[in-house]
Every structure is written in structure tokens, then in C-alpha cells.
Amino acid sequence: MIMRERVSSVSIHAILIAYSLLALFPLVLIVINSFKTKKAIFREPTGLPLGDSFSADGYASVLTNSDFPLYFGNSLVVTCVSLALILLLGAMASHALSEYRFPGDTFIGIYLILGIMVPIRLGTVALLELIVGLGLANTLTALILVYTAQGLPIAIFIFTEFLRSVSREIKDSARIDGLSEYRIFFEVVVPLVRPVIATVAVFSMIPIWNDLWFPLILSPGEDTRTVTLGVQQFIGQYTVNWGAVLAALSVAILPVLVMYVIFSKQLIRGITAGAVKG
């Protein structure tokens, strides 16, 4: 029995390691080739950037000879503000749905599920007309509003399911001590849902940061482009600056990695808690 458990454990770890290597290989390949000359990239794509093959011209083009830092900053603003709104509004709405019973609460739950099932891109034309009508075309505000609306249904769904499992006695004790509902939310509820906050933040950030559809349609202006649109400037009709493209992609990967490193422990706890509760 013990031998069977060991074999099972080794097999599982082998599969996970193989999957991790397979998932990380493209990222490592991008970073390695970003430090090569164009000839070296095509001559030996899996080789290390050593000797004559080494070149940092791609990063020079990205960081000093282009507007990519502006686009990177735009993506950071859009992503951070959208995440803040998704987490705050999602957690507050979920607290209300899980804590109180009122007419229409079931309908709101069903409505949110429909928001998860129906892709927001199906309403692109209507969204574009609305954004233009509000005078928000070619602004970062338009992207923030769309991404917030896109991320709220799944955030509320995850938060609500978790908050329903939180002991009501803790919140009732806070009410007896005289805390207002706002203080109960920020001082009692929020600390309890930190793992879920990390989970929602990571899963909400990646689609926002990597999105090309809405920036291309709603904010294609020179001053409001995001990272995904910024990479396109290095791709010409007849030539492609591969060093700059790979360097831009390498820089664009950094925020996602940093966020995962910061929230990795909370993320694992949130996913594990959800799995146990399920």
C-alpha cells in the first residue's frame, strides 16, 4: 500500500513537472531570443545568447527609441484601476448577496451567471456606440469601465460562494460590539477573504493585461495604446524587428510574474479552499 502511494505521488509530480516545463518553455525561449541578433534568432533559436549572437538592441529600441514605455504605463493604469474596482465592488456586492435576503436576490444571482456565460465581446458594437455617445472614445476610462463590467460577474460569483461559508457568528459579534456595516465589511470580512481576493485578482488581471480586442476598438489612439497594441509598432508590412518584438514581450511578462510572486501563497490557499468547499 505504501509503495503504491509512493508510485502515485511520483507519477503525479512527474506529470506536473512535465507540464510546467512545457508551459515555461515558450516564455524562456522569448526571453533568450530577446538578447540575440536577428540572424542568431533564426540560426539557432534554442541557443544561449553568447558571443557574437548577444545583442541588447531590441531592448534599446523598446525602452528608449519608441513610445513603448507610454503604452506600458497605460496598461498598468488600466489594469490596476480595473482590478481595484473589480475587487472592491465585487466583494461589497457579494457581502450584500451572502449576508442579506431581499426580493430579487435570486434573480440577481441568475443574472450574474448569465454575465459569466455570455462573452462581453458579443456586445462590442453596442459598447462602441455607448462609448462614443459618452464621449469616451480613445480614453483609458473606456477600457477601465469595460474591463470592470467584464470582471465583476465572475468576481461576485466567487466571492459570494466563499462568503456564504463564513461564520455568521463572527459578524454578529461585531454588530454587538457596535461596528457599522462598513466597518464590519472592511475590518472583519475583507481579512477573511484575502486568499479569494488574490485568486480573483490573478484571474482577472491576465485577461485585462493580455487583451487586444477592446484596446484596438475603443482606444487605438497614439496616447492611449496599451502593451498589446504597442508591440504592433515593431511589426511592419515587409519587415519585422524581431529583437524589439521579443524584448517588448519579455517586458510585458514582468507584471504578471511579479503579481503571481506576491500573491502566490494566497492564490494557492484560495484555490485549495475553493476545492475543499466544493
Per-residue pLDDT tens digits for 217-259:
998 888 899 998 888 888 877 778 888 889 898 888 888 888 8
Give the Cα separation of 188 and 158 in Å (integer): 18
For 41, residues 6+ apart whose C-beta sits below 8 A from its C-beta are 33, 242, 243, 246
Q: Is residue 9 domain-resident?
A: no
Angle at 212 between CA 200 and CA 79, to 5 degrees: 40
With residue 236 as reference, give the H or E element that holds it.
none
Q: Note whether residue 17 is domain-resident.
A: no
Percent of the chain surpassing pLDDT 90: 19
- Helix/strand/coil for 218: helix
Confidence of residue 273 (pLDDT cuts 50, 70, 90): low
pLDDT average, residue stretch 255-265? 78
DSSP state at residue 83:
H
Q: Using 50, 70 and 90 to split pLDDT, how confident is the model at 267?
A: low
pLDDT, position 274 = 47
Q: Mark residue 139 as left, alpha or beta (left: phi above 0; alpha: psi -120 to 50; beta: remaining).
A: beta
Looking at residue 107, what is its pLDDT? 78
8 A C-beta contact, residue 198 and residue 270:
yes
What's the number of domains the chain is made of? 1
Report yes or no on 263 lying in a domain.
yes
Residue ranges making up the domain that contains 74 = 56-277
Most confident of 12-21, 79-88, 194-203: 79-88
212 in a structural domain: yes
- Find where cell 541588447 sits: 56
Nearest to residue 143, comparing CAs of 186, 97, 81? 81
Q: How confident is the model at residue 98 (pLDDT cuts 50, 70, 90)?
A: confident
Q: Which pLDDT value is given to residue 272?
A: 56
The mean pLDDT of 81-100, rounded to a whole number, is: 88
Q: How far is CA 246 from CA 53, 77, 138, 252, in A?
A: 15, 23, 27, 10
Angle at 155 between CA 151 and CA 158, to 5 degrees: 150
Name the least confident of 23-27, 43-47, 167-171.
167-171
**Helix (H, G, I), strand (E, B), or coil: what is residue 54?**
strand
Average pLDDT score over the chain: 84
Specify if 7 maps to a domain. Answer: no
- Supply the Cα-derived Rg of the chain in whole angstroms: 23
pLDDT exceeds cutoff 70 at 12: yes
Tracing cell 449576508 back to the chain, one arrives at 99
Contact status, residue 187 vs residue 179, Cβ threshold 8 Å: yes
Q: What is the mean pLDDT of residues 163-186?
A: 80
In a domain, 6, yes or no: no
Q: Does residue 277 surpass a pLDDT of 70?
A: no
Q: Which residue has the cell 444571482?
A: 109
The distance from CA 61 to its chain's CA centroid, rounded to whole angstroms, is 27
| Lowest mean pLDDT across 32-46, 61-75, 157-171 | 157-171
Question: To the nearest whole percent, how much of the chain has pLDDT over 70?
Answer: 92
* pLDDT of 102 over the 80 cut: no
pLDDT at 2 over 80: no
**Residue 12 is assigned to a structural domain of this protein:** no
**204 is a domain residue:** yes
- Residues 176-216 have pLDDT tens digits of 888 787 888 888 888 888 888 888 888 888 899 989 899 99
pLDDT in tens, 129-154: 999 999 998 999 999 999 999 999 88
**Any idea what the CATH number is for the domain that residue 141 is in?**
1.10.3720.10
C-alpha cell at 202: 490573478
